[in-house]
């Protein structure tokens, strides 16, 4: 007698496999596998035979035994629900699968065969001989001893079970395309072809508030099964013909109330569609078929139709009322997932627009800039708070800024935009990098607290930021960082590595020790490359963060001086970014060019009464050498005279005069040791002083002040 394995000697999978094996009848279609050789099997066979009428109506469980070559050795797929499955003893099991699923399922079968670890309850489609498909739950288990091979249980998806499983699957993604695809795959259980067509405004993330008859536009969002379709048939990403959109929309809006309709056969479909072009676009094959159209209705006053789901099946298998009710229930229970995906799509677009608006331009005459922003995969909660920016400062320097706000979504992007714009304003006002970070630190502490921020999916607290200012005259970079990963510098000789930046906690981290932000100054001669990035580029669970940064340094060091920088940046990202991104990837690469030596001149003068005259003489000689126009030379000399006079009058110590030939203008700078800010006042005609800055203001296209460790520099630009 065949004995049942005891719990003490068998695993749970052995028990299940043994039970499923005994469930297979010894006679009938399974007799080809061999006569029953155990009393337990004969008893089971009689029990099944005695209740055949009832069991064949209610049975949704089938079992297939496979040998080690994955060929069918025994099977029980005789219930009506499995009709059409050609499960022939001796044939490969993969013949039951759609061609596209064969590699994946074959790999799972062999994995269970080799490891003995089961794959349980996977949703799978089986291929019927007539071309239709059956949705089942497939479990793969090792065969019970003493048998070898595998036992595969097949459970036809009962309607209630399928509704629950479908709703769960559809709600797992916030990507509108994946949501529509999941809905279409779930609808396929009721037919041979399923499609989801969405209003174009829904597809693009906009709100649908009106259903104007003349402005309807549907786009195919999903279509299953995935196979080659006849020419002219609408596939995902295509817009439906305007006639088809209007007809479908009118069909589901009879009596001003959205409702499902069924067109039973091809003749009726042809009468409704009318146009041969529309027929080719919507009818999936040449055979007679009927279609059920179910509107995706969002409850409201009035209700809003987001789109239409269509289920096609053979005309000889008409839709029953109970099936139509199930279809309507599935769509009604999942339409809110489509609307959530629409809202996420809209937010996604808004954040991407903000991100792209902040992306740096190509640079100028003194620096070349390239940047790449690659948002996380659609499975994430949304686009993150990474930002990168670069912009020329009025005094001729260039600011490079990169930062990261904790979290994802519109809130993180709004915080990112606020911090980025504030950093730009402060840097343009002449503040040093460490001073800017101090202001950002205060801003972050005021923006939100940890509880409110994290509840919204992001937090400004703990944001990181790195600011670098490139001086094209001295060829030096002043850099300050708040919790950000160190930039990578590649020198002209090819040596690459991260900069030794003093560590500091992120912005707004009041729980950490309050330390001043440090400024790190380093040489960046022409030809140097500076890479700023966010952690998504270098973080990999398989390696340490230091190794990730080292890989980045190696990749950037391969950029040739003649390479197009934007293309090189994309190549670096493609080589380093993880295949399955969990975070946004941001990279900025700057190639230092600087001013040529002959385009700049610097003089140091004592703060004496003759300093203005000496400065005018030096500048006049240089401008003649540069062959500057007479009117430009006169303006520049008057400007230098006024600025030097103010420096002698209001400051002490040496005075520095610097002249830069930049683009279409002359940049004049006068530095001193004073700490007072020059202000343009409203002086009277008879006042003894105060007219110098008015002269500066009228002679220049722009002017301003920046602060240094020893005092200040007043700069002004004169058009050439």
d(CA 662, CA 125): 68
Ranking 160-164, 168-172, 284-288 by mean pLDDT, the lowest is 160-164
Going from the C-alpha of 657 to that of each of 599, 633, 648, 686, the distances in angstroms are 14, 16, 12, 30
pLDDT of 528 reads 93
Residue 351 banded pLDDT, cuts 50, 70, 90: low
Would you say residue 250 has pLDDT above 80?
no
Q: Regarding the domain delimited by 161-348, which CATH topology (the fold level of the hierarchy) does it fall under?
A: Beta-Lactamase (3.30.450)
Residue 621: CB partners within 8 Å, gap ≥ 6?
A: none
Per-residue pLDDT of 606-631, as tens digits, reads 888 888 899 889 889 988 888 888 88
SS3 416: helix
Residue 434, beta-bridge partner list: none
pLDDT of 82 reads 85
- Report DSSP state, residue 429: T
Would you say residue 468 has pLDDT above 90?
yes
Residue 354 banded pLDDT, cuts 50, 70, 90: low
Task: Provide mean pLDDT across the span 324-353.
Answer: 76
Residue 169 banded pLDDT, cuts 50, 70, 90: low
Would you say residue 530 has pLDDT above 90?
yes
Q: Which residue has the higher pLDDT, 411 or 310?
A: 310
d(CA 60, CA 83): 12
Fold agreement between 161-348 and 359-592: no
pLDDT of 13 reads 46
Q: Regarding the domain delimited by 359-592, which CATH topology (the fold level of the hierarchy) does it fall under?
A: Phosphatase 2c; domain 1 (3.60.40)
d(CA 586, CA 385): 10
Q: Which residue has the higher pLDDT, 81 or 9?
A: 81
pLDDT of 90 reads 92
d(CA 558, CA 541): 25
d(CA 295, CA 260): 6
pLDDT of 608 reads 86
d(CA 456, CA 636): 55
Which range of 12-26, 88-102, 496-510, 685-699 scores highest in mean pLDDT? It is 88-102
d(CA 483, CA 192): 56
DSSP 205-262: T-------GGG--EEEEEEES-S---TT---TTPBPPHHHHHHHHHHTTGGGS---EE
* CATH (one of 3.40.50.1220, 3.30.465.10, 3.30.565.10, 3.50.50.60) for 598-719: 3.30.565.10
DSSP 370-388: EEEEEPPPTTSSS-EEEEE
End-to-end CA distance of the chain: 106
Residue 147 banded pLDDT, cuts 50, 70, 90: confident
Residue 210 banded pLDDT, cuts 50, 70, 90: low
Structural domain boundaries in the chain: 12-157, 161-348, 359-592, 598-719
Residue 248 banded pLDDT, cuts 50, 70, 90: low
Q: Are 150 and 109 in contact (CB under 8 A)?
A: yes
Residue 448 banded pLDDT, cuts 50, 70, 90: low
d(CA 41, CA 61): 18
Q: Which residue has the higher pLDDT, 444 or 28?
A: 444
Strands (E), 548-701: 585-592, 600-605, 655-662, 665-672
Residue 535 banded pLDDT, cuts 50, 70, 90: confident
Task: Provide mean pLDDT across the span 443-458.
Answer: 59
pLDDT of 582 reads 66
pLDDT of 168 reads 63
pTM of the model: 0.56
Backbone angles phi, psi at 129, to 5 degrees: -65, -25
Task: Provide mean pLDDT across the span 480-505.
Answer: 88
Per-residue pLDDT of 544-586, as tens digits, reads 888 889 999 999 999 988 888 999 999 999 888 766 666 778 8
d(CA 526, CA 671): 25
Would you say residue 488 has pLDDT above 50?
yes
pLDDT of 387 reads 80
Q: Which residue has the higher pLDDT, 565 or 256?
A: 565
pLDDT of 406 reads 73
Residue 394: both structure tokens together: 């009025």
Residue 106, beta-bridge partner list: none
Residue 628: both structure tokens together: 């500057």
Q: Which residue has the higher pLDDT, 607 or 353?
A: 607
pLDDT of 72 reads 92
Per-residue pLDDT of 8-42, as tens digits, reads 444 444 444 455 445 444 433 333 333 333 333 33
pLDDT of 635 reads 86
Question: Which of 329, 322, 368, 296 lies closest to 529 in space, CA to CA?
Answer: 368
Domain 12-157 has CATH 3.30.450.20: yes
Ranking 241-245, 362-366, 522-526 by mean pLDDT, the lowest is 362-366
Helix %, strand %, coil % of the chain (to 5) = 40, 25, 35
Length of the chain counted residue by residue: 720
pLDDT of 358 reads 62
Which range of 160-164, 242-246, 317-321 scores highest in mean pLDDT? It is 317-321
Ranking 90-104, 111-125, 453-467 by mean pLDDT, the lowest is 453-467
Going from the C-alpha of 191 to that of each of 175, 327, 652, the distances in angstroms are 25, 11, 89
d(CA 168, CA 121): 14
pLDDT of 92 reads 93
Residue 705 banded pLDDT, cuts 50, 70, 90: confident
Question: Which of 719, 690, 677, 658 lies closest to 430 in space, CA to CA?
Answer: 677
Would you say residue 542 has pLDDT above 70?
yes
Residue 55 banded pLDDT, cuts 50, 70, 90: very low
- Provide, rounded to the nearest whole percent, the portion of the chain with pLDDT above 70: 75
Strand 61-66 to 261-263 pairing: unpaired
Strands (E), 423-572: 458-471, 476-482, 488-490, 496-498, 520-523, 529-533
């Amino acid at each position: 007698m065949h004995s049942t394995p005891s719990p003490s000697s068998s695993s749970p999978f052995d028990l299940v496999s043994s039970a499923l094996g005994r469930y297979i009848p010894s006679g009938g279609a399974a007799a080809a596998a061999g006569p029953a050789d155990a009393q337990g099997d004969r008893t089971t066979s009689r029990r099944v035979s005695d209740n055949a009428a009832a069991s064949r109506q209610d049975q949704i469980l089938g079992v297939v035994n496979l040998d080690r070559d994955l060929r069918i050795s025994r099977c029980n797929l005789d219930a009506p629900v499995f009709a059409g499955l050609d499960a022939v003893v001796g044939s490969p099991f993969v013949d039951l699968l759609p061609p596209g699923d064969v590699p994946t399922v074959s790999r799972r079968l062999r994995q269970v065969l080799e490891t003995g670890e089961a794959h349980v309850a996977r949703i799978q489609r089986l291929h019927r001989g007539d071309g239709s498909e059956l949705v089942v739950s497939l479990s793969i288990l090792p065969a019970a001893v003493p048998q070898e091979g595998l036992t595969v249980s097949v459970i036809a998806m009962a309607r209630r079970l399928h509704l629950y499983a479908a709703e769960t699957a559809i709600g797992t993604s916030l990507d509108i395309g994946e949501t529509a695809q999941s809905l279409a795959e779930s609808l396929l259980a009721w037919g041979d072809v399923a499609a989801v067509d969405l209003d174009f405004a829904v597809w693009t993330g906009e709100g649908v508030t009106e259903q104007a008859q003349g402005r309807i536009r549907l786009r195919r969002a999903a279509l299953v099964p995935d196979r080659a379709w006849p020419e002219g048939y609408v596939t995902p990403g295509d817009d439906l013909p305007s006639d088809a959109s209007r007809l479908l929309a009118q069909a589901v809006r009879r009596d001003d109330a959205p409702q499902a309709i069924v067109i039973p056969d091809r003749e009726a479909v042809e009468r409704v569609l009318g146009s041969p072009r529309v027929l080719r676009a919507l009818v999936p094959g040449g055979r007679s078929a009927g279609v059920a159209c179910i509107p995706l209705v969002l409850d409201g006053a009035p209700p809003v139709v987001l789109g239409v789901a269509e289920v096609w099946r053979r005309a000889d298998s008409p839709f029953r009322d109970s099936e139509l009710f199930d279809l309507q229930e599935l769509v009604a229970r999942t339409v809110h997932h489509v609307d959530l995906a629409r809202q996420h799509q809209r937010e996604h677009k808004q954040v991407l627009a903000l991100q792209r608006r902040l992306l740096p331009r190509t640079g100028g005459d003194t620096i070349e800039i390239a940047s790449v922003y690659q948002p996380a995969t659609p499975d994430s909660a949304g686009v993150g708070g990474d930002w990168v920016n670069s912009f020329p400062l009025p005094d001729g320097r260039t600011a490079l800024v990169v930062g990261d706000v904790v979290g994802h979504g519109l809130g993180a992007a709004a915080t990112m935009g606020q911090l980025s714009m504030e950093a730009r304003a402060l840097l343009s006002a002449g503040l040093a990098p460490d001073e800017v970070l101090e202001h950002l630190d205060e801003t972050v502490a005021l923006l939100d607290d940890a509880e409110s921020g994290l509840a919204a999916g992001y937090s400004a607290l703990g944001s990181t930021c790195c600011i670098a200012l490139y001086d094209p005259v001295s060829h030096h970079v002043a850099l300050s960082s708040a919790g950000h990963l160190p930039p990578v510098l590649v020198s002209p000789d090819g040596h690459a590595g991260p900069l030794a930046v003093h560590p500091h906690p992120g912005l707004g981290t009041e729980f950490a020790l309050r330390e001043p932000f440090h400024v790190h100054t380093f040489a960046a001669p022409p030809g140097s490359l500076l890479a700023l990035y966010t952690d998504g580029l270098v973080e990999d669970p398989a390696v340490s963060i230091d190794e990730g940064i080292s890989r980045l340094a190696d990749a950037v060091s391969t950029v040739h001086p003649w390479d197009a920088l934007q293309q090189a940046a994309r190549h670096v990202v493609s080589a380093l970014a993880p295949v399955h991104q969990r975070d946004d990837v941001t990279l900025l690469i700057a190639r230092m060019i600087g001013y040529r030596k002959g385009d700049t001149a610097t003089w140091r003068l004592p703060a004496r009464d003759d300093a203005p005259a000496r400065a005018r003489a030096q500048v006049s000689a240089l401008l003649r050498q540069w062959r500057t126009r007479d009117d430009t030379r006169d303006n520049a000399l008057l400007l230098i005279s006024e600025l030097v006079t103010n420096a002698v009058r209001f400051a002490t110590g040496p005075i520095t005069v610097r002249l830069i030939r930049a683009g279409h203008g002359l940049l004049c700078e006068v530095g001193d040791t004073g700490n007072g800010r020059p202000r343009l006042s409203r002086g009277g005609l008879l006042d003894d002083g105060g007219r110098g800055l008015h002269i500066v203001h009228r002679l220049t296209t722009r002017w301003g002040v920046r602060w240094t460790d020893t005092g200040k520099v007043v700069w002004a630009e004169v058009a050439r």
